[in-house]
Copies of this chain bind each other. A is one copy, B any other.
Amino acid sequence: MSELRGACIIGQSGGPTAVINASALGVIRTALDTDCITQVLGAAHGIKGVLDDKLYDMGKEDAAELDLLRYTPSSALGSCRYKLADPDVDDTDYKRILEIFQKHNVRYFFYNGGNDSMDTCNKISKYMQKMGYECRVMGVPKTIDNDLNGTDHCPGFASAAKFIATSCMEVWQDAHVYDTGMVSIVEIMGRHAGWLAGSAALATWAGFGPDLIYLPETDFDMDKFIADVKRIYDATGKCMVAVSEGIHYADGTFVSEAKTSATDGFGHAQLGGLAAMLAEIVKEKTGAKVRGIELSLLQRCGSHVGSKTDVDEAFMAGKAAVEAAVSGVTDKMVAFDCTRDGGYQCKTVLQPLDIVANIEKKVPRAWINAEGNGIEQPFIDYVLPLIQGELNPPKEHSLPRFAKLKKVFA
């Protein structure tokens, strides 16, 4: 393989995570140290920054400040949810991308995101090949939802899982101080896959966590749910519930959007989302004091309680993408291949970019209990190694010290 000299672009796309910047740092740091990569460009707001020629010269950043990306949540370069057209239908964007690539002699393109980002990589790569412009394109995965196909898990998931488990343990403590009745309902992200809500089971496993957990992998039944809560509440005076935002009825309707007989009069006004709605229903049906808690954005940006394993692997994924591209690989997504027998081990592998297309990896049914209201041990065995290790992010005045980038345009 002949050496390919030129600039590289790193872009970030989709929803933020606690570790997406660690992957970006893995790309940037490795690329800066690679001779044949002549310039490292950070795209402002992903592919939109390429289209707008808004590219930061990452070599102009202070090295120590750059290293703080390891501990800085969300997408430091800016993200987007821009979807490229089918180039056979409309190649306007692709022509523009090629123009920008030619202007900066971009020969490496690294895109850090989920399903749609891998699709973006794939389309760009195919177009460049068709036009005879040599450019190596690599996807670096991220998503708190952990639903990407072709990888053991996704960077970003474990830190969110750790935040969720830790918060559930703390809320459990809070919800058990009085000798009066109390039901608490914690709403967790995950529209189609229950990996995050299932991670609340780590809290239960550790001794202080939800009694009931509902994932979108099984159909939700409101009457069964109320009976489940009532049974535990009547027996113990307390009940803690974790629900995925994506729970749905058998007909596929999201519970958060449905108007059932139980929600009539509330269904139109779910300002506070699913947890608030379920809390109102449980209060009506049981008379209990109920608290609905939505973990909201906190769960995907909680780097202060991040998993060191997650951050290390996120960095490793970015680094592996650069090393593979420089060695001649293109059109691949970095993925994780892990073993858990005899100690957890994780190595990077390369998967075709289209392996993630149109597939959402769900929690196996066998990892959910038969009743569909709890988690089985294989889920714990899967997720526990991923949350290990404390990040101990640097602080200034005991507050997080996030990266402050100069963002000098190239």
Contacts and interface: CB of A to CB of B under 8 A. Distances in A.
A178 B78 contact: yes
B175 A297 contact: yes
Given A272-B271, A272-B272, A292-B272, A81 B166 contact: no
Interface string A1-35: 00000000000100010000000000000000000
A171 interface: yes
A80 B179 contact: yes
B404 A397 contact: no
A206 to B, nearest CB: 5
Contacts of A218: none
Going nearest first, the 3 A-B pairs with the smallest beta carbon separation are: A272-B272, A269-B269, A271-B276
B177 A78 contact: yes
Nearest to A267: B269
Main DSSP-derived SS at the A contact region: mixed
A388 interface: yes
A301 B172 CA distance: 9
Contact of A174 (B16, B45, B294, B396): B16
Interface stretch (A95-103, A126-134, A303-311, A365-373): A303-311
Given A173-B74, A303-B170, A165 B399 contact: yes
Contacts of A397: 206, 384, 388
Given A171-B297, A297-B174, A305 B307 contact: no
A402 B177 contact: no
A145 B81 CA distance: 40
Residue with the highest number of chain B CB atoms closer than 10 Å, among A279, A280, A294, A387: A294
A354 B399 CA distance: 36
A273 interface: yes
Contact of A387 (B208, B269, B398): B398
B304 A166 contact: yes
Residue with the highest number of chain B CB atoms closer than 10 Å, among A44, A175, A399, A404: A399
A233 interface: no
A105 to B, nearest CB: 26
Contact of A399 (B12, B72, B202, B279): B202
Given A169-B402, A273-B272, A293 B297 contact: yes
A390 interface: yes
A104 interface: no
Contacts of A202: 399
A256 to B, nearest CB: 12
Contacts of A44: 179
Contact of A269 (B74, B271, B295, B395): B271
